Chain A
């Protein structure tokens, strides 16, 4: 079922209203959108309806066929309206494994219930920015509020111009086994540092109740944003000269994701050296970088490097005191040129303190 048909610069949201579709047809959404009812989500229709969708807003959680989302549909950012009057236990029993556990940093939850949001957030380690705060659970009101929000957001520059949900999914699939390998035995405390933490999107990959997650960034805005997203973590600014403000041998895992190409060679070397310094002997250093760089941003200069140049730099910065643990190349959806690569090394040496 089509609502207004005018296309809108900056995005094409698809609203799934399910059983409430009749009510929503009358409200007149604030921007051009596609409106779907519960008869419009048979697999073939859903594929057509979501072909150019920039977000999929599910206002009726109970009737939406999440299992029917496949292929590129999984890469459309979701906004889920939590139904009113249901507690955390009920919602996680019904939607936990099938829906909530699969949400990514790019998906959002709309609810007026702060307590419910807090308890669900702590269970799935969502970022605070993933919440859309509403005044009412009523689908009409929620649709208006979400529509207005999306329209306002389409006028702002993208918060993450270098990556999207599809890129994040590929990176996450490759990084998750490496995070697990670095963690090892579950009962041991786990200290993690991300350099170039941005808004903290990788923090949610860890159980923050049992992980001490630290993040560093050179931008004060990013640090503030990461702090707001994950109050459980500790986020600081990189010191002048790209120095890491922590003691030697403080972390079991030190990692960065697509950070190095923002820095010229001497800065890369400093960062690698600092990351190695703060990793514990036997701990992991993990790098996910674009070693074939096809993306160009008008707003930033990039310093591309090949994998061999990176490995040479890593050996130089660490004096060769590392052992190669994992290498994996990545291809991103919708990008034929850029190739990512994961390099995981463990730090050699004897601890300075026991």
Chain B
């Protein structure tokens, strides 16, 4: 808006001012609901939420499978694997999820994609691809 104090807004300006007001109110309500950091985007659709929750579920199952396999002790030697276990399999995962559910789910999806890429690129990638479950995951997320 013009700095001129005697400026009278046109209709377009009123539209912009209304948009700013409603956006500001939505940002405030989202922050109060704990959706911190997501203020500028639009709220995710239910479909997107379902997709994210599925990704979280797949990641948890994959991590449990890896941790309970004979390779588990060796994987735990790597800090990144321990970080993933801590983030998604420990009791603290529940707290983090409850605190900011949307951020948590998006991080889980991101971690799942990175993990699948890492496994697929490694020397055992071809072996894993013999399993239908792993191929499904690759198809779904990569």
**A joins B in a complex:** yes
Chain B residues with CB under 8 Å of A303's CB are 5-6
Q: Are B21 and A307 in contact (CB under 8 A)?
A: yes
Chain A residues with CB under 8 Å of B3's CB are 265
What's the nearest-Cβ distance from chain A to residue B65, in Å? 45
Does any Cβ of B come within 8 Å of A87's Cβ? no
What's the nearest-Cβ distance from chain B to residue A311, in Å? 7
Q: Are B28 and A324 in contact (CB under 8 A)?
A: yes
Taking a contact as CB atoms closer than 8 A, the residue among B5, B20, B29 that contacts A291 in the complex is: B20
Contact-residue size bin, chain B (C-beta under 8 Å from the other chain)? 10 to 19
Chain A residues with CB under 8 Å of B8's CB are 304
Are A311 and B14 CB-contacts (below 8 A) given A301-B6, A303-B5, A306-B1? no
A-B contact pairs, 29 of them (CB 8 A): A265-B5, A291-B17, A291-B21, A292-B14, A292-B18, A292-B21, A293-B14, A294-B14, A301-B6, A303-B6, A304-B9, A304-B17, A305-B1, A306-B20, A306-B21, A307-B24, A324-B28, A326-B28, A327-B29, A328-B25, A329-B21, A329-B22, A329-B25, A337-B14, A339-B17, A339-B18, A339-B21, A341-B24, A341-B25
Residues of chain B from 1 to 35 with CB closer than 8 A to chain A in the complex: 1, 3, 5-6, 8-9, 14, 16-18, 20-22, 24-25, 28-29
What's the nearest-Cβ distance from chain A to residue B16, in Å? 7
Chain B residues with CB under 8 Å of A337's CB are 14
Q: Nearest chain-B residue to A337 (Cβ)? A: B14
If over half of A's interface residues share one DSSP class (helix, strand or loop), that class is named, otherwise mixed; here it is mixed
Residues of chain A from 76 to 114 with CB closer than 8 A to chain B in the complex: none
What's the nearest-Cβ distance from chain A to residue B136, in Å? 45
A-side residues, CB < 8 A to B, are 264-265, 291-294, 301, 303-309, 311, 324, 326-329, 337, 339, 341
Taking a contact as CB atoms closer than 8 A, the residue among A293, A301, A308 that contacts B9 in the complex is: A293
A260–B5 alpha-carbon span in the complex (Å): 13
Are A307 and B20 CB-contacts (below 8 A) given A292-B14, A327-B28, A337-B14? yes
What's the nearest-Cβ distance from chain B to residue A328, in Å? 7
A291–B16 alpha-carbon span in the complex (Å): 10
Chain A residues with CB under 8 Å of B22's CB are 329
A324–B29 alpha-carbon span in the complex (Å): 11
